Amino acid sequence: MVRKKTSIKDIAKALGVSITTISFIINGKAEEKRISKEMVKKVEDYVAKVGYRPNHLAQSLRSGKSKVLVLMVEDISNSFFSNIARLIEEKAFKNDYKIIYCSTENSTEKAKELIHTFKSRNVDGFIITPTADLKFEIENLIKENFGVILFDRWIPGLDCSHVIVENRRSSFEATQHLIDTGAKKIIFITVSSDQTQMQDRLKGYLEALELANLSPFVFEEPFHSSSEEFMGDQIKEFLLNHPDADALFFATNYLAFEGLHAIRKLELRIPEDLQVLAFDDHFFFSLYQPSISAIAQPLEGIAEKLMEGILNQLDENIESKTFKVELANQFVPRKSTFSKS
């Protein structure tokens, strides 16, 4: 048996009624259009009986709307993004929107292709963790009146709604926390990236050190190894050259995982030999021994604000300006850093 869905036309034929009438009733416009009670009942009963479901494709083609939002993240297997994805989906459902996720794998080409394919499927809006190269595409989306909101980072020189966190401030405060414990040589471990969130985390670190008159030491990891065997080898190398380091501040949680591998290989004690702190909390950090201090991003708040921002854009009754939100993080001190007291 091949697909054979009942359409409005079939219903019209079976009931001897026009498709217009059916359409009105299905779309809850019976009252407005003053359709008789009997007619409404007749149609509704039949619709229920045959289990009719409207074809969304046809609806979208005709109306230009689809009730679908796209969530484009860098990598869905990263727990930060997959957690955000789950929260957003939950909220979207409540607002009668469906979410389509996809990963860009940090490839601008792939991101562009995805944007084009979804545009031509009439999705209503995009929630994106962008790369700077996406500026042109995003400008176009805005011009073409799609809902667009960025998160995690934003694009300099582009006036677009976004939801980010206080990267600089949290990084500054966390660094100060380390300085307060007496650490003199604090290493900032990051990846080579000009993404705004990474730059801001770096800035916060640098500012705190400057204020304390300490010298900064930044290690930019040139590439990632996800192989268990080599995890952390680059950081290990760096640490060997800096045996007097007091503390490591990791710009992301996955860097911290690599760092922990390195620290284990070097048989260093945390926090006695080396304090450890990471941006972006992870359940792992509370379970590791010793537990790892981290800066927790407000996942729930981010998801909430993203939905709020994009729904406002899509609501034609609201005159929406660009919506720019910066949320506070929470520093979670654990055993890997000395308490200030």
Positions touching DNA (CB under 7 A) are 5, 7-9, 16-21, 23-24, 26-27, 33-36, 38-39, 52-55, 58-59, 61-63
Which of positions 259-278 make contact with a copy of itself (CB under 8 A)? Answer: 260-261, 264
Q: At what angle do helices 196-211 and 167-180 cross, to 10 degrees?
A: 30
**In the chain, what is the greatest distance between 2 CA atoms, to the nearest angstrom?**
87
Q: Specify the residue, 41 or 116, whose C-beta has the smaller distance to a copy of itself.
A: 116
Residue 322 binds which entry of a copy of itself, DNA, none, CB below 5-8 Å type-dependent = none
Q: Nearest distance from residue 210's CB to a copy of itself, in Å?
A: 34
Cis peptide before 54 (omega within 30 of 0): no
Residue 35 binds which entry of DNA, a copy of itself, none, CB below 5-8 Å type-dependent = DNA
User: Alpha-carbon distance 218 to 152, whole Å?
Assistant: 22
Which of positions 123-162 make contact with a copy of itself (CB under 8 A)? Answer: 143-146
Q: Nearest distance from residue 15's CB to DNA, in Å?
A: 8
Would you call 294 helix, strand, or coil by DSSP?
Answer: strand
**289 belongs to the binding site for a copy of itself (CB under 8 A):** yes
Residue 276 binds which entry of a copy of itself, DNA, none, CB below 5-8 Å type-dependent = none
User: Alpha-carbon distance 81 to 101, whole Å?
Assistant: 10
> What's the angle, vertex CA 111, arms to CA 59 and CA 298, rounded to 5?
90
User: Alpha-carbon distance 145 to 143, whole Å?
Assistant: 5
Take residue 184 and report the two structure tokens written for it. Answer: 């003199």
Pairing of strands 275-279, 293-296: parallel
Binding mask 40-69 for a copy of itself (x = CB under 8 A): -------------xxxxxx-xx--x-----
| Region label for 183, one of left (φ > 0), alpha (ψ between -120 and 50) or beta (otherwise) | beta
Residue 194 CA: distances (Å) to CA of 58, 68, 132, 205, 312:
43, 31, 8, 16, 30
Q: Nearest distance from residue 281's CB to a copy of itself, in Å?
A: 10
Whether 275 contacts 290, CB under 8 Å: no
Count of residues interacting with a copy of itself (CB under 8 A): 57
Q: Specify the residue, 4 or 49, whose C-beta has the smaller distance to a copy of itself.
A: 4
Residue 75 binds which entry of DNA, a copy of itself, none, CB below 5-8 Å type-dependent = a copy of itself
Q: Nearest distance from residue 260's CB to a copy of itself, in Å?
A: 6
Would you tell me which residues interact with a copy of itself (CB under 8 A)?
Answer: 1-5, 53-58, 60-61, 64, 75-79, 82-83, 85-86, 89-90, 93, 98-103, 105, 110, 114, 116-117, 119-122, 143-146, 228, 231, 257, 260-261, 264, 283-284, 286-289
